[in-house]
Chain A
């Protein structure tokens, strides 16, 4: 059971906008940055969003992150077939003194 809570699945059609939520607590999301990772099938995770809403170079601006209180969200606009992947949120947890992850959300592009 993961410390951060994500929906196990999400879906959308090409061109749509989808949002993936990540719920935590005051000790993690509430007081630290949130990060999002994309894991394409058969590959390692890749940093998608850092410090709540920053995109590393090379990540399309279709991907955006936000945070409010003890929750965070990843939004993907203009959905494309290549976005089909698992998405994980992560944050430092002050109580556990370590990084905690969400259980991952499998995004299906219909």
Chain B
């Protein structure tokens, strides 16, 4: 069974940092692009970041560019999202999502993790 388990969410002060992890199982992790999508009650679903299967190509939404860094460790079947300079508007549930292909470009969102909540507040 394909599973994605996120961790690392929590409460952080504005300007702070947080690192999200996503442990994948049930499929050949190194073969697929991976994505981060976040969801807020006010703004709905927002595409945040993506990485190709070998980690050589990445994507960032304009809203997080310069503050977030996506990476992956294919030897440990794990996806990461390093979030820095966090702002209140980054408060959301962050989902780790498996892609359909090796490239994130125009990829589809196949399997979603259960999500991890990030709250940015003083």
Pick the contact of A104: B44, B61, B112 (CB < 8 A): B44
Assess the A46–B112 pair: CB atoms within 8 A: yes
Give the Cβ gap from B38 to chain A, nearest Cβ, in Å.
11
Q: Which residues of A contact B37 (CB under 8 A)?
A: 99
Pick the contact of A35: B95, B108, B112, B113 (CB < 8 A): B108
Interface of chain A: mostly helix, strand, loop or mixed: strand
Interface size on A, residues (CB 8 A): 24
Q: Which residues of A contact B110 (CB under 8 A)?
A: 47, 56
Assess the A103–B44 pair: CB atoms within 8 A: yes
Residue of A nearest to B114 (CB): A44
Interface 1/0 per residue, B31-47 and A, CB below 8 Å: 00000010000001111
Given contacts A37-B109, A104-B45, is CB(A98)–CB(B61) below 8 Å? yes
> With A and B bound together, what is the CA distance between A33 and B107 in angstroms?
10
* Beta-carbon contacts under 8 Å, B24-60 to A: 37, 44-47, 59
Interface 1/0 per residue, A29-51 and B, CB below 8 Å: 00011010100000111110011
For residue A100, CB closer than 8 A to chain B, the reply is yes
For residue A72, CB closer than 8 A to chain B, the reply is no
Assess the A44–B61 pair: CB atoms within 8 A: no
Q: Which residues of A contact B100 (CB under 8 A)?
A: 50
Q: Which residues of B contact A37 (CB under 8 A)?
A: 109
Report B's interface with A, CB cutoff 8 A.
37, 44-47, 59, 61, 95, 100, 106, 108-115
